[in-house]
Chains A and B, each alone.
Chain A
Amino acid sequence: MDFLRPDTLAEALALKSQRPDAVPIAGGTDVMVELNFDHRRPAALLDLTRVPELREHSTENGVVRIGAGVPYVRIIEELGGALPGLAMASRTVGSPQIRNRGTVGGNLGAASPAGDTHPVLLAAGATVEVASARGVRFIPATEFYLGVKRNALEPDELITAVHVPATRAPQQFSKVGTRNAMVIAVCSFAVALHPGEQRVGAAVGSAAPTPRRATEAEEFLSGELTATDQWESPKPLLDSVKRRFGELVAQAASPIDDVRGSAAYRKHALSVLARRTLGWAWQDYTGKAA
């Protein structure tokens, strides 16, 4: 096995193009588990923790660009105001030790259907920035997840950043697990209000081969809110609306039975999470708009 240690992004991209078989490693919270358990023996590791370009975040034109190597703890501490949903999901990742190391870039690279940040990235309308020696391209989060632990990266590409619109509108994230810390989601859900576009974003995690948008639920709720002029003058949501939203979210999922929970439980739990998180987000919006 080779251990490749680039000091700059250009060097990292050059190495990845020469060695497409090299596995990128940042926080190591997924890659090292696979190595420790002998599940994977890559030909090379490409250590990205020395690449300064990946450890920065910046905000331009209302969009936050988060370098792929920014750990969760910094998203929580430095970006909680602009990206409430992502910060919320980041707080549920692993434990303090894991949040000190783990990164959104790694979450995207692993592309586990259970990754905590995916539903938020989908609901918030994020874009994944990837680069290779050939250049940079931008992949909407909605097109990034291709299958169980499969993403849209080419073998010579690295995830360099994720772009998430900054917002003042409410966002919520919730996940089901057996305890608060160190939990792989049984299922998870994110909702984001986009008052400017009169649109609601909603997505499920750990309930399909990939993280997935709940498109019908989004359209139903967006239509309902616009038709009743609620973006301008919000009123408490009818229970029937919240309930229907929850049903449509559950319908968007195609979960399996596994050790963490049954498919039926996941669908039921998702409808509850959707109803509750929407309630919280809307209460927040009603308060802000009033």
Chain B
Amino acid sequence: MRVNVTVNGEQRQADDVWEGESLLYVLRERLGLPGSKNACEQGECGSCTVYLDGVPVCSCLVAAGQAQDREVRTVEGLAEGDALDPVQEAFVEAGAVQCGFCTPGLVVAAHDLVNRVPQPSDPEIREALAGNLCRCTGYEKILDAVKLAAQKKSAR
């Protein structure tokens, strides 16, 4: 089937999509957007987190056909041109990246959090990121990055 979907503000079309395929597969393999990572394929790890109509979801659990005529925003769509989003800047500055595999999902989840909650507390951060696993276990730096991101955001 053909799937028409707006991705990062751009109208995109994917052809020959299998009906049981996930949005994640379409993004990575058909639309050339490998930022969202494929790890668990069962919603456990959060590394494929994208916005679907403004709501963070695991794209591995969205059937491609469910994204028809919807708006998707991936980690590739957070920066404005060369200017990183404050969340991305904060991850870089805080060194909240080890192997980097979980980072895109965490960046999207953190992006959603600091947009909803300007000054999140530690428990709020932990709760918001509970669906994102970092197997390097670099969580302390990630918490630092989210706090820094919130500061950067409120300073703008």
A-B contact count (CB 8 A): 88
A98 to B58, Cβ gap below 8 A?
yes
A36 to B63, Cβ gap below 8 A?
no
Q: Smallest CB–CB gap between B121 and chain A, Å?
A: 16
Q: A36-B22, A95-B131, A97-B57 are in contact. Are A47 and B63 (CB under 8 A)?
A: yes
Q: A47-B65, A47-B66, A95-B131 are in contact. Are A35 and B20 (CB under 8 A)?
A: yes
Interface residues of A in 1-49 (CB under 8 A from B): 1-3, 5, 25, 27-29, 31-33, 35-37, 41-42, 44-45, 47, 49
A47-B1 Cα distance, complex, nearest whole Å: 14
A68-B2 Cα distance, complex, nearest whole Å: 28
A97 to B131, Cβ gap below 8 A?
yes
Q: A45-B20, A101-B57, A182-B131 are in contact. Are A3 and B49 (CB under 8 A)?
A: no
The tally of residues in A whose CB lies under 8 Å from a CB in B reads 30
A100 to B42, Cβ gap below 8 A?
no
B131 to A32, Cβ gap below 8 A?
no
Residue from A3, A32, A33 within 8 A of B62 (CB atoms): A32
B55 at the A/B interface (Cβ < 8 Å)?
A: yes
Q: What is the chain B residue whose CB lies nearest that of A48?
A: B66
Q: A96-B56, A97-B131 are in contact. Are A33 and B46 (CB under 8 A)?
A: no
A228 at the A/B interface (Cβ < 8 Å)?
A: no
Residue from A25, A28, A37, A95 within 8 A of B46 (CB atoms): A95
B34 at the A/B interface (Cβ < 8 Å)?
A: no
Interface residues of B in 40-63 (CB under 8 A from A): 41-44, 46, 49, 55-58, 60-63
Q: Smallest CB–CB gap between B125 and chain A, Å?
A: 12
Residue from B1, B20, B22, B109 within 8 A of A97 (CB atoms): B109
A97-B51 Cα distance, complex, nearest whole Å: 10
A181-B139 Cα distance, complex, nearest whole Å: 15
Q: What is the chain A residue whose CB lies nearest that of B59?
A: A97
Could you jot down 6 A-B contacts, CB within 8 Å?
A5-B68, A49-B66, A95-B130, A95-B131, A97-B109, A182-B131
- B residues near A (Cβ < 8 Å) are 1, 18-20, 22, 41-44, 46, 49, 55-58, 60-63, 65-66, 68, 109, 127-128, 130-132
